[in-house]
Chains A and B, each alone.
Chain A
Amino acid sequence: MNYEAVIGLEVHVQLRTASKMFTRVAAGYGEPENTLTDPVVLALPGALPVLNKEALDKIIKAGLMLGCAIAPVCKWDRKNYFYPDSPKNYQISQYDQPICLRGAVEIELPGAARNVMGEHKSIPLTRIHLEEDVGKLTHGAADSLVDYNRAGTPLMEIVTDPALSSADEAFAFLTALRLSLVQAGVSDCDMEKGQMRCDANISIRPVGETKLGTKVELKNLNSISFVRDGIAHEIRRQTAVVTGGGAIVQETRQYDGEAGTSTAMRSKEMAHDYRYFPDPDLMPVKVDEAWLTSIRATLPERLFDRQRRYLEQFALPYTLTSVLVPQVPLCEFFEEAARLGGQPQAAANWIANDLQRELAAAHLALTDSKVRPAHIAGLVQLVETGVISNNLAKEVFVEMFATGEPPAAIVDRKGLRQSTDTGELAQWVAAAIAANAGAAAEFKAGNEKALNPIKGAVMKASKGKANPKLVDEIVRKLLAG
């Protein structure tokens, strides 16, 4: 019997805000332990929460970007449970009225080859709500320590429908979601810093069956690759259990990405009664149309909308779009270069390949680059109009990357303009034929390839300035004569 997997994801994403969700203390990572605290964060007697509007702005932005319906009233609930990382021993969250409902994330599955676009799918979301992050526990041999720097950071929980069917889809989902949120400035989504965390609910069922199988919750998936590997592992594990005649136990399992194994966790959470009730310290917030309109105005172009536009508007090859589209600053750089003239494909090539490579080698960010869009547009046009050859253009690029000098100026200063002076070319060619008499004889005997050493010698003598097309014509003419 064949089985299919049904997967739902719960993704926690820290919002990028200046301060914490319910107090003025800065939100941050990497600060000395327990320095990002105040009476509210530490839940001292008498401290009260006050909503950070930026957090609500950001989650609404995320919701609008993902096509969610935004609730007209944002309401807060307390989720009550005792744990040392939770200073109040309740978490301010949203229970029955999440701020964002439905919505979807468009994903792209791996294509048949690197340069072939894969299938696109839409993964429906159930809801997105806002809550506070908790502190961080460190367990020692004899004691445990708590750092409350993270406590109170705004955290959104994104819940998908049980609508994914493979580890690759989960990988593609998180990749697309992460890019979308980063591009919108909603979060930095750095999984190493815990800014994005994912749990997966996984079940399998016989193909054709519509009822869901018993689900297993997989935790500790702390990189996008571990999510893919962990889900693949869990699907194999469940399939082996079921085909071996066993039954899946509903449980929470912890995935060990290094070892590629999972183990069942103690099921202490099963019996929880969170005693949700509306937080009496916070007033519900009305979200009106004017507010939504002002946020809509700040939405970036959606990831795959941009890709489709690049394919159509600029006729870029798929591989170039897949390099550019994930990087909005690079896209903006490219679009500016394309606007300034020259073939967009050529500009995209320079940017996606040469510029990226040189920046990486020099450990520079795009904003540090001395090469600006105008340089790229100028270079493309110099090649297009035959002023310099492609080969010389590479040299010009290296020069302008180092100095920021405009490409035309470099060409002029170094005298790199292609020679189209047929008299000069003829002298070079004649000298080359004389120096390569054997090759000349071979060509005359019908060996086309024998032309290359002669043309090479011309290029060498001209220091690359000889127009290759003219050289070819002249060589053939002289050898034929």
Chain B
Amino acid sequence: MAADLIHLPAAALAALLDANKISSVELVQALVARQQAVDGRVKAFNSLDEAGALALAAAADARRAAGQARGPLDGVPVGFKDVIAVAGQPLTCSSKMLANFVSPYDATVTTKLKAAGAIPFGRLNMDEFAMGSSTENSAFGPTANPWDLSRVPGGSSGGSAAAVAAGEVPLALGSDTGGSIRQPAALCGIVGFKPTYGLVSRYGLAAFASSLDQIGTFARTVEDAALLLGAIAGHDAHDSTSFRVEIPDYRAELAKRKGPWRLGVPKEFFGAGLDPEIGAAVQQAIAFYRSAGCEIKDVSLPLTAEHAVAVYYLIATAEASSNLARYDGIRYGHRSAAATDAIDIYAKSRAEGFGEEVKRRIILGTHVLSSGYYDAYYLRAQKVRTLIRGEFLRVFQDCDALLSPTTPTAAFKLGEKSADPLAMYLSDIYTIGVNLAGLPGISVPCGFTGGGLPIGLQVIGQPFQEAALLAIARAYEQGHEWSQCHPAL
């Protein structure tokens, strides 16, 4: 039984729990066993509180036995990217700076998931402070791609993607600032979903770039993504940037929305730099939608294609330079043993506590905001960002969603791009524009390369039209069996 559970979608696990076919304790035990069996190779987890998870599982079983189950997620484990606060658990951001930091409070998504009965299951590895596209920028070492352990899982939420793909946890949370959910989901062959900016509270998400960060989901199916999204979405009085919108039953909406849809294909997302194998797989997905009766439209996003990466690295680094200033070794976190006064504590603690990529971005962002450069860099980047959002919204006047590859290439080798930050930055070229425009985006598996590496199809939706976006992705998923493919570990 246990071996059968590890690759089941959460919805299927919920059905088994509801039918008393399995208990939550059995499920957690099975996942702990799987984690112990494979994580030495995958290294998706920074830590796992097995006893805590088992205690919560027993409580969930007791509720279910008493007829007081809190819903489909009651007793279902959810992995947490190590950037989202869970009270009493480490919150390291995969940084030496926070290696010993334990959060005293719950993020809003944590509070909501606990209320739904879900079990926080492990702290998942990531690029330090969510800065990176390969999970190699972790102070605790890289995570491996479960499909090929010599390759990266993508990033920055690489631990979340790898853990779900490797059967270590059915669901996981991640954060997506420029593609950090969709890109690793694509590289690991699972569903990765980034909601509209403002749909999910950021309270308790250690900030990288406040105006771009958004918590989202990793799952094995679109239905699971809908299930998890429904549990975490909604306005939060602790986050001024969260929106007041009606939260539908996303899972129920899936069944109601059948299409056909008008789907745009941005031509710039199929140009130079795109691996032909990926291009072909995405074209096949487009053909599937056409054959299903959807109207396929050629659209153009020239500003996004030309400027999104540059605009992103100006805005994201500027905000990061300020957001990460709080990690100073004064109140918590790493403090250099060699420091002698306050300035020295700052300088040495931050020099020792932050990794190379984080330092690179703090320096870049500090420069971007500095007197005399602000107008030329930050202010101009914000103006172009407004134009990019306008460009997307114009396209959406005639389209329900856009289709594109999630990434230009499949998973690359560990170390392959570490020495070349620019090459690494370009692995987010198709996902970054979605963050700048604040749109929802999802990556669903759409095949494999000849070398057996997963390929992701990105579907981009209109603001706050998550239900439609999920239904469109679901239509593709239902016509294919990619979600039943699992890595051999």
The answer to whether the Cβ of A420 comes within 8 Å of any Cβ in the partner chain is: no
A50 touches B325 (CB 8 A): no
Stretch in B157-165, B267-275, B289-297, B370-378 with 4+ CB within 8 Å of A: B370-378
Within the complex, the shortest CB–CB distance from B398 to chain A, in Å, comes to 30
A80 touches B322 (CB 8 A): yes
Within the complex, the shortest CB–CB distance from B234 to chain A, in Å, comes to 15
Given the complex of chains A and B, what is the CA–CA distance between A90 and B346 in angstroms?
A: 14
Closest residue to B198 on the A side, CB-wise? A283
Given the complex of chains A and B, what is the CA–CA distance between A50 and B108 in angstroms?
A: 14
The answer to whether the Cβ of B386 comes within 8 Å of any Cβ in the partner chain is: no
Within the complex, the shortest CB–CB distance from A229 to chain B, in Å, comes to 32
The answer to whether the Cβ of A32 comes within 8 Å of any Cβ in the partner chain is: no
A277 touches B378 (CB 8 A): yes
Known A44-B104, A46-B107; contact A283-B240, beta-carbon cutoff 8 A: yes
Within the complex, the shortest CB–CB distance from A182 to chain B, in Å, comes to 31
The answer to whether the Cβ of B37 comes within 8 Å of any Cβ in the partner chain is: no
B239: chain A residues within 8 A (beta carbon): 48, 50
* Residue count of chain B within 8 Å CB distance of chain A: 44
A50 touches B374 (CB 8 A): no
A87 touches B238 (CB 8 A): no
- The listed residue (A82, A273, A283) touching B328 by CB distance below 8 A is A82
The answer to whether the Cβ of B278 comes within 8 Å of any Cβ in the partner chain is: no
B346 touches A39 (CB 8 A): no
B332 touches A50 (CB 8 A): no
B85: chain A residues within 8 A (beta carbon): 44-46
B322 touches A45 (CB 8 A): no
Within the complex, the shortest CB–CB distance from A269 to chain B, in Å, comes to 14
B203: chain A residues within 8 A (beta carbon): 46-48
The answer to whether the Cβ of B319 comes within 8 Å of any Cβ in the partner chain is: yes
B326 touches A275 (CB 8 A): no
A88: chain B residues within 8 A (beta carbon): 325-326
**Binary interface profile of B, 354-379, with partner A (CB < 8 Å = 1, else 0)?**
00000000000010011100100010
The answer to whether the Cβ of A89 comes within 8 Å of any Cβ in the partner chain is: yes
B330 touches A84 (CB 8 A): yes
B84: chain A residues within 8 A (beta carbon): 46
A273: chain B residues within 8 A (beta carbon): 370-371
Stretch in B64-72, B204-212, B424-432, B480-488 with 4+ CB within 8 Å of A: B204-212
Given the complex of chains A and B, what is the CA–CA distance between A51 and B237 in angstroms?
A: 10
A89 touches B326 (CB 8 A): yes
**Binary interface profile of B, 73-100, with partner A (CB < 8 Å = 1, else 0)?**
0000000000111000001010000100
The answer to whether the Cβ of B21 comes within 8 Å of any Cβ in the partner chain is: no
B30: chain A residues within 8 A (beta carbon): none
Known A46-B203, A46-B206, A88-B325; contact A275-B240, beta-carbon cutoff 8 A: no
Given the complex of chains A and B, what is the CA–CA distance between A84 and B344 in angstroms?
A: 12
A39 touches B105 (CB 8 A): yes
A78 touches B105 (CB 8 A): no
The answer to whether the Cβ of A109 comes within 8 Å of any Cβ in the partner chain is: no
Within the complex, the shortest CB–CB distance from B372 to chain A, in Å, comes to 9
- Chain A: number of interface residues, binned into ranges: 20 to 34
Within the complex, the shortest CB–CB distance from A80 to chain B, in Å, comes to 5
The answer to whether the Cβ of B123 comes within 8 Å of any Cβ in the partner chain is: no
- The listed residue (B93, B210, B318, B325) touching A82 by CB distance below 8 A is B325
Closest residue to A148 on the B side, CB-wise? B331
B240 touches A45 (CB 8 A): no
B369 touches A144 (CB 8 A): no
A50 touches B237 (CB 8 A): yes
The answer to whether the Cβ of B288 comes within 8 Å of any Cβ in the partner chain is: no
Known A44-B103, A44-B104, A48-B239; contact A277-B322, beta-carbon cutoff 8 A: yes
Known A46-B207, A275-B322, A280-B319; contact A146-B330, beta-carbon cutoff 8 A: yes
Known A39-B104, A44-B104, A46-B91; contact A280-B330, beta-carbon cutoff 8 A: no
Within the complex, the shortest CB–CB distance from A186 to chain B, in Å, comes to 24
A277 touches B318 (CB 8 A): yes
B101: chain A residues within 8 A (beta carbon): 45
Closest residue to A283 on the B side, CB-wise? B240
A89 touches B328 (CB 8 A): yes
Closest residue to A46 on the B side, CB-wise? B204
A43 touches B331 (CB 8 A): yes
Closest residue to A79 on the B side, CB-wise? B322
Given the complex of chains A and B, what is the CA–CA distance between A42 and B331 in angstroms?
A: 8
Chain A residues 57-95 with CB under 8 Å of chain B are 78, 80, 82-84, 87-90
Pairs A–B under 8 Å by Cβ, sample size 20: A39-B104, A43-B331, A45-B101, A45-B103, A45-B207, A45-B326, A46-B103, A46-B107, A47-B203, A49-B240, A50-B239, A89-B328, A146-B331, A275-B366, A275-B371, A276-B374, A277-B374, A280-B211, A281-B210, A283-B241
Additional A-B contacts beyond A50-B238, A84-B342, A88-B325 (6; CB < 8 A): A45-B326, A46-B203, A46-B205, A46-B206, A47-B204, A281-B240
Binding site for A on B (CB under 8 A): 83-85, 91, 93, 98, 101, 103-105, 107, 202-207, 209-211, 237-241, 318-319, 321-322, 325-326, 328, 330-332, 342-343, 346, 366, 369-371, 374, 378
